[in-house]
Amino acid sequence: MPQQKSNYFSFITQRPLWLNILAGVVLGLFVLVIFFSSLKWITGFGEQQKVPSVMGQNIIAAQKMLEDQGFTVEIQDSIYVDSVAKLSVLKQSPESDEIVKKGRTIYLTINRALPPLVDMPNLVGLSIRSAEMYLQSMGLKIGMVSYKPDIARNAVLEQLYNERPIVAGTKIPLGSAISFVLGNGLGGTEMEVPNLVGLNFMEAKAYLQSIGINIGAIIADNSLADSASAFIVKQNPQVFVDLPTGERQVNKIKQGQLMDIWLSSTPPPTPIVDSIKQ
């Protein structure tokens, strides 16, 4: 067996050393040539192409275009912008017209299909300028602005969403429009002070709203459990004012002014003629 094994390598051992070295060098060069020749095919080196623009396109159309040209697509992020179409491409990386290797991954940022929800803030009492800035900081928009008589000029009296009052803390979509009712200062119409004594609270409130007068302070006695059914037993300003001459004169009030009322669970003891009903 040893003799037979040595015969296997006799073609090497029987040759001169320099010839074996030369054969090894030639073999090594051949392997290197084959490797570098196939490297371009393995890595795709030199196969480059221009990145197309998919900005503003729907994600489905953008993905199809990129994949048809040999790119791979990955959605990197999604944000919400109410001024552009839903599910449209807002950003791409690499950007359009860049030269990249074929098969490169293109990362896309798209517009969300549904806006995120935010909490409605309480803007009642703020100036219109402050309220608008607050809305902008939260990603909301200002809608319609209307006015009604009130001593607080250009202050927010009511906040509306879809034409209905909205309370603070209500969840609404980002980008929603909020409308405001503002005070326009004192009204120009002067009228007699209405007599509210003897009315219940809800009747008086509805009547004051109809003539542009606002309720100011509400003072209730300790026994009152439900203000809606309570009776008004006192008001300020009063219906009449006493003059220095001893005469009584009907008091005047303007739209937008306030009336303070006192509430009790029992009606006033002495019936008073109601100037509203005359």
**pLDDT score of 102:** 83
Residue 157, both tokens: 């009296």
Say which CATH architecture domain 48-111 belongs to: 2-Layer Sandwich (3.30)
**pLDDT score of 13:** 61
User: Which residue is listed with tokens 């067996």?
Assistant: 1
Long-range contacts of 23-28 (CB under 8 A, 24+ apart): none
Strand partners, 173: 117
**pLDDT score of 31:** 77
Instruction: List the CATH code of the domain at 117-183.
Output: 3.30.10.20
Within the chain, all domains assigned CATH 3.30.10.20 are found at 48-111, 117-183, 190-264
**Residue pair 154/123 in contact by the 8 Å Cβ criterion:** no
- Topology of the domain covering 190-264: Trypsin Inhibitor V; Chain A (3.30.10)
pLDDT tens, the chain, 278 aa long: 454 555 555 655 666 766 667 777 777 787 777 766 665 555 555 578 899 999 999 999 999 999 999 999 999 999 998 889 999 999 999 998 899 988 899 999 999 999 999 999 999 999 999 999 999 999 999 999 998 878 788 999 999 999 999 999 999 999 999 999 998 877 667 899 999 999 999 999 999 988 888 888 999 887 777 777 899 999 999 999 988 888 889 999 988 888 999 999 888 886 544 444 44
**pLDDT score of 232:** 94
d(CA 154, CA 185): 8
Strand partners, 74: 107
**pLDDT score of 278:** 41
d(CA 70, CA 62): 13
d(CA 222, CA 6): 120
